[in-house]
Amino acid sequence: MTHENTQITSPPSPSEILLHLGPQHPLQPGPFLLDLKIDGETIREAELKIGYIHKGMEKVFEDRTYIQIMPLTDRICYLASNANNDVYCRAVEELLGIEPTPRAKYLRVIANELNRIQSHLLGIGEYTTDVGFLTMFIYMVRERESIVSLLEAITGSRLNHNYARFGGVANDLPPNYKSMALKTLGEIGKLVKSHDEMMSSDSIYLKRTKGVGVLTDKVASELGVAGPPLRATGVEYDLRRIEPYLVYDDLDFKVITQQDGDVFSRVKVRLLEIQESIYIIEQCLDQIPSGPYKQHVTPYITRPKVGEVYTRIEDPRGELGMYLVSDGSNKPYRFRIRGPAFATAQALPPLLIGTYMADVAAIAASMDSCTSEVDR
């Protein structure tokens, strides 16, 4: 792995073509430009250019009060909006020196895991269209709808949840939520299992995915990726286990790993993580204590004391960190978002070299990058 692998170093020779995949291409979850130097169908060099939807979030946040930032964190990555809320909220709580109430911790875990399920479902769905399996995409989106409805029931919105609050959450569980959630989650678990079997038994699908885009554990840790692409190589790196936050200490769950590190394993990890998240939510619904779901005094005008904090959680895509520097005013002095998709996007070009054009779709989609978050 050298840095030449991420750049196109020379103009194409007469037998090669320079292909600009993007900024608008059916493969992409959002606009980015993937320059490929191809010889026939084989990729010789690849270069990823990003920044088409740069929103300047880090700069914008320096000009907003802490409570104003909360709904904006949803927009970092709309598929993991709850994770973004949560990590921001925990960072500010750490600066303020307060703890969420016990019930709020469980509620946040429930929302986080539901968010993880819906993100994985859509990620797998997009990926299956990229290997030409449109039916599976529609199945996955259908399953995702009911999960999003569950999220809507607790957070009040379907996409940008804005759920966490400093010291608590915005809403309590609606009545009869437990029975409704258990019923839906049981069905989704069964359906996802059957989809998993359907995919794993399809010979064309196996041919397209087994042994394609292989990332070994050494290379993966060298590239600095985290999340499902890393766990697919056999590394048990899950911040929920390594650095337990909220109530993950009290919950029983496995860290899903696969050994091969290819496209198939990355998707398999996500499929199994959905089952694991369902199990976590079921435990949370059983164990959730009664009590207040938010602090009695919610600090609307938040002035943390001078200091700084680096908080990270396990996003659906990997390690999501936020680095907050406070100067004692009601606005953050510096707000840095360490997105998981940024790291995975950076690791994409070296993976593509030597593969075929058709594998670009499969590999890029299996990394489950989110352009909105890469650009921020």
Partner 1 sequence: MATDKTIMVELTDAFSDAISDVDVPSANRAEARIDSSKVTEIMQFLRDKGFDHLSCISGVDYPPDKMEVVYHVTSYSAPLVITLKATLPRDDPNIDSLCDIYWNANWYERETWEMFGIVFNDCPYLKVLILPEEMDGEWPMRRDYAGYPNAT
Partner 2 sequence: MVIYDDIMYWLVLIFAESHPYSDWIRGILGGLVIGAVFGGALVMVYLERKFLGDIQSRIGPNRVGGRYGVLQLIADAIKLFTKEDIIPANADKWLFIGAPIVALTSGFLMVAVLPFDYLLINGSYYAVNVTRMDISILYLEAVSGLAVFAIFMAGWGSGSKYSMLGGFRNIAKMIGYEIPLGVSIISVAIMAQSLDIVEIVEAQDFLWNIMIHPLAFIVFGICLVADVGRIPFDQTESEEEIIAGWATEYSGMRWGLAFFAEYLHAVVGSFMVALIFLGGWNGLPIVGNLYIPGIFWLIIKTIMVIMFFIWTRGALPRYRIDQVVDLGWKCLLPLSLLCLVWSTIIGLVFG
Binding partner of 221, given partner 1, partner 2, none, CB within 5-8 angstroms per partner class: partner 1
Q: Which is nearer to partner 1, 276 or 319 (CB)?
A: 319
Which one among 166, 205, 237, 245 touches partner 2, defined by CB under 8 A? 205
Binding partner of 231, given partner 1, partner 2, none, CB within 5-8 angstroms per partner class: none
Cα(329)–Cα(343) distance, integer angstroms: 32
Half-sphere exposure at residue 236, Cβ-oriented, CA atoms within 13 angstroms: 7
Site for partner 2 in 93-152 (CB under 8 A): 128-135, 138-139, 142
Site for partner 2 in 357-376 (CB under 8 A): 357-361, 365
Q: Which is nearer to partner 1, 145 or 236 (CB)?
A: 236
Binding partner of 128, given partner 1, partner 2, none, CB within 5-8 angstroms per partner class: partner 2
In the complex, minimum distance from the CB of residue 224 to partner 1, in angstroms, rounded to a whole number: 3
> Cα–Cα–Cα angle for 284, 286, 288, nearest 5°?
60
DSSP per-residue codes, 192-240 = HHHHHHHHHT-HHHHHHHTTSS---HHHHHHHT--SHHHHTTT----HH
26 counts as binding partner 2 under rule CB under 8 A: yes
Alpha-carbon distance values, 237 to 49, 76, 274, 281 (Å): 28, 23, 17, 21
Q: Which is nearer to partner 2, 144 or 208 (CB)?
A: 208
Three-state SS annotation for 130-181 = HCCCHHHHHHHHHHHHHHHHHHHHHHCCCCCCCCEECCEECCCCCCCHHHHH
Helix or strand (DSSP H, E) at 39:
strand 33-39
Do you find a cis peptide bond into 102, omega within 30 degrees of 0? no
Q: Which is nearer to partner 1, 20 or 142 (CB)?
A: 20
In the complex, minimum distance from the CB of residue 140 to partner 2, in angstroms, rounded to a whole number: 11
In the complex, minimum distance from the CB of residue 352 to partner 2, in angstroms, rounded to a whole number: 12
Binding partner of 139, given partner 1, partner 2, none, CB within 5-8 angstroms per partner class: partner 2
In the complex, minimum distance from the CB of residue 52 to partner 2, in angstroms, rounded to a whole number: 18
End-to-end CA distance of the chain: 27
Q: Which two tokens stand for residue 224?
A: 């600095």
Binding stretches for partner 1 (CB under 8 A): 1, 3-4, 6-7, 50-51, 54, 56, 58-59, 63, 221-224, 226, 230, 235, 237, 239, 242-243, 308, 310, 312, 319, 321, 323, 325, 333-334, 336, 338, 342-343, 346-347, 375
